Amino acid sequence: MNDTRQQHNVACHCGAVQFKARLTDGFNTIRRCSCSYCRMRGAIAVSARLQDIEFVAGEGNLTLYQFNTGTAKHYFCKTCGIYTHHKRRSDPDQFGINVACIEGISPFDFPEVVVTDGILHPSDSDGRSRIAGMLRYSPTE
């Protein structure tokens, strides 16, 4: 079994937390979310299966934040405070990974990012994921 998907290096700002990740569908799953937490955090997330993350350093340097139902687990670095990944509420077999922590990737690489409706969460309604809108970025040059 050869997994040909690219293995990305992921790290927080200070570098204490480092892991490798393969994504479920490249950068096609990028999104932001409109829930009370994500709207403050402001990060773009991309999907990876739980087994496709491999820690290199600093797993013990992570802090966990949970709220509401406590299903989603939001991890961030104790030292620099940067969110690296979270265990998803809508799909607990997956992590969302902060694209800005992926080596060589910037959140400003993506001209359009889907914003999913995290206020009417699929787990609180009919299980369908709704799109709240689209976030656009255009560089000045």
Query: Which residues contribute to the site for Zn ion (CB under 5 A)?
Result: 12, 14, 16, 77, 79-80
Question: What span, in angstroms and rounded, lies between the C-alpha atoms of 65 and 131?
Answer: 25
Q: How far is the CB of 27 from Zn ion (least distance, A)?
A: 23
15 vs 92, which CB is nearer to Zn ion?
Answer: 15
The tokens for 101 are: 């922590």
Q: How far is the CB of 83 from Zn ion (least distance, A)?
A: 10
98 vs 116, which CB is nearer to Zn ion?
Answer: 98
Show contacts of 120-124: CB within 8 Å, 24+ apart.
121/35, 121/89, 121/90, 122/90, 123/69, 123/71, 123/89, 123/90
21 vs 77, which CB is nearer to Zn ion?
Answer: 77
75 vs 95, which CB is nearer to Zn ion?
Answer: 75
Residue 34 Cα distances to 38, 105, 133, angstroms: 6, 22, 9
Q: How far is the CB of 43 from Zn ion (least distance, A)?
A: 14
Q: What are phi and psi of 46, to 5 degrees?
A: -135, 150
Q: How far is the CB of 132 from Zn ion (least distance, A)?
A: 30
